[in-house]
A and B are shown apart, each in its own frame.
Chain A
Amino acid sequence: MDQLAIIFARVLQAIPTLIGIVIVTFLLTRALPGDPAAYFAGASATPESIAEIRAKLGLDQPLPVQFLKYVQDLGSGNLGQSVSTGQPVATELLKRLPASLELTLTALLLSVAVAIPLGVLAAVRQDSWIDQLCRFVVTAGVSLPTFFTGLLLVYVFYFLLGVAPAPLGRLDLMHITPPQVTGFLVFDSLIAREWSTAWSALKQLLLPSITLALFTLAPIARMTRAAMLQALSSEYLRTARAAGLSRGRVLMVYAFRNALLPVVTTLGMVFSFTLGANVLVEKVFAWPGIGSFAIEALVVSDYAAVQGFVLSMAVLFVLLNLVIDTLYTLIDPRVQVDG
Chain B
Amino acid sequence: MSTPLHNPPLLAVRDLCVEFATRKGPVTAVRSVNLQVAKGETLGIVGESGSGKSVTSYAVMRILDRAGRIVSGGIEFGGMQLHDAPEDMMSDLRGREISMIFQNPRAALNPIRTVGKQIEDVLIRHAQATHDQAKAKAIEALEKVRIRDAARRYHAYPFELSGGMCQRVVIAIALACKPQLLIADEPTTGLDVTTQKAVMELVRELTRSEGMSTLLITHDLGLAGEYCDRIVVMEKGEVVEQQDTAKLFTFPAHPYTRRLIRSTPHAAATIRDLLPDDLRLPLPSAMTVSSEPLLEVSNLVKEFDPPGGLLQRLKKRTPYRAVAGISFSVARGESVGLVGESGCGKSTTSAMVMRLLDATAGSIRFKGQELTAVSAAAFARSPLRRELQMVFQDPHESLNPRATAAQSIADPLIRLEGMSNGAEIRARVEALATQVGLQHELLDRLPHQLSGGQKARVGIARAISTKPELLILDEPTAALDVSVQAVVLNLLADLKAEFGMSYLFVSHDLEVVRLLCDRVIVMRAGCIVEEGQAARVLSAPQADYTRELLAAIPRPAHLPGHAAPVVEAVRA
Contact = CB atoms under 8 A, between A and B. Distances in A.
B254 interface: no
B308 interface: yes
A337 B311 contact: yes
Contact of B91 (A234, A244, A254, A338): A244
Interface in A236-275: 236, 238-247, 249, 253-254, 257-258, 261
Given A239-B109, A244-B126, A336 B308 contact: yes
B112 A246 contact: no
Contacts of A332: 112
A332 B158 CA distance: 12
A333 interface: yes
A247 B121 CA distance: 12
A253 B113 CA distance: 9
Contacts of A241: 63, 94
Contact of A242 (B99, B111, B309): B99
B392 to A, nearest CB: 26
B92 interface: yes
B108 A239 contact: yes
Given A238-B63, A242-B63, A339 B312 contact: yes
B100 A242 contact: yes
B61 A242 contact: yes
A243 B111 contact: no
A331 interface: yes
B310 interface: yes
B104 A244 contact: no
Contact of A236 (B92, B99, B109): B109
A9 interface: yes
A117 to B, nearest CB: 21
Interface string A218-248: 0000000000000000111011111111110
Contacts of A249: 121, 125
A10 to B, nearest CB: 12
A240 B174 CA distance: 10
A239 B170 contact: yes
B208 to A, nearest CB: 22
A244 B112 contact: no
B112 A334 contact: yes
A254 B118 CA distance: 10
A242 B93 CA distance: 9
B99 A235 contact: no
B110 interface: yes
Nearest to B314: A339
Contacts of A245: 91, 95, 121-122, 125
A244 B63 contact: no
B66 interface: yes
Nearest to B122: A243
Contacts of A247: 91
A334 B161 CA distance: 12
Nearest to B174: A243
B107 A236 contact: yes
Contacts of A258: 110-112
Interface-central residue, A240, A242, A338, by most chain B CB under 10 Å = A242
B311 A338 contact: yes
Contacts of A261: 112
A239 B183 CA distance: 12
B102 A239 contact: yes
A337 B94 CA distance: 40
Contact of A339 (B91, B111, B308): B308
Contact of B157 (A246, A257, A334): A334
B182 to A, nearest CB: 11
B142 to A, nearest CB: 16
A126 interface: yes
B353 interface: no
B266 interface: no
Contacts of A257: 112-113
Contact of B95 (A235, A242, A333, A337): A242
- Which of A235, A243, A245, A254: most chain B CB closer than 10 A? A243
B107 A234 contact: yes
B111 A334 contact: yes
A79 B59 CA distance: 69
Contacts of A337: 308, 311
A244 B95 CA distance: 5
A338 B110 contact: no
Given A338-B308, A338-B312, A246 B125 contact: yes
A236 to B, nearest CB: 5
A249 to B, nearest CB: 7
Nearest to B119: A243
A334 B109 CA distance: 14
B310 A243 contact: no
Nearest to A254: B110
B170 A339 contact: no
A39 B110 CA distance: 61
A336 to B, nearest CB: 7
B313 interface: yes
A247 B91 CA distance: 8
A267 to B, nearest CB: 18
Chain B CB within 10 A, most for which of A234, A240, A334, A338: A240
B186 to A, nearest CB: 12
A175 B66 CA distance: 58
Contacts of A333: 112, 157, 159
B173 interface: yes
A202 B438 CA distance: 74
Contact of A244 (B66, B93, B170): B93
Contacts of A334: 111-112, 157, 159
Nearest to B170: A239
Interface in A280-339: 331-334, 336-339
Contacts of B100: 242
Nearest to A237: B110
Interface string B61-102: 101001000000000000000000000001111111001101
A296 B183 CA distance: 70
A234 B309 CA distance: 30
A336 B312 CA distance: 11
A246 B312 contact: no
Interface in B11-64: 61, 63
Contacts of B173: 239, 243
Contacts of A235: 102, 104, 107-108
Tell me which of A9, A253, A333 has the highest count of chain B C-beta atoms within 10 A of its own C-beta: A333
A265 B103 CA distance: 30
B149 to A, nearest CB: 19
Nearest to B95: A244
A33 B325 CA distance: 61
A173 B477 CA distance: 80
B140 to A, nearest CB: 17
B122 A244 contact: yes
A235 B102 CA distance: 9
A240 B94 CA distance: 10
12 contacts: A235-B102, A235-B108, A238-B108, A239-B109, A241-B94, A242-B63, A243-B121, A243-B122, A261-B112, A333-B157, A339-B308, A339-B311
Q: Which 5 A-B pairs give the minimum distances between C-beta atoms? A: A339-B309, A339-B310, A244-B95, A244-B94, A243-B95
Given A239-B110, A243-B125, A333-B157, 20 more contacts: A126-B66, A235-B102, A236-B107, A239-B102, A239-B109, A239-B173, A240-B121, A241-B94, A242-B95, A243-B121, A244-B92, A244-B96, A245-B121, A245-B122, A257-B112, A257-B113, A331-B112, A333-B112, A338-B308, A339-B313
Interface of A: 9, 126, 234-236, 238-247, 249, 253-254, 257-258, 261, 331-334, 336-339
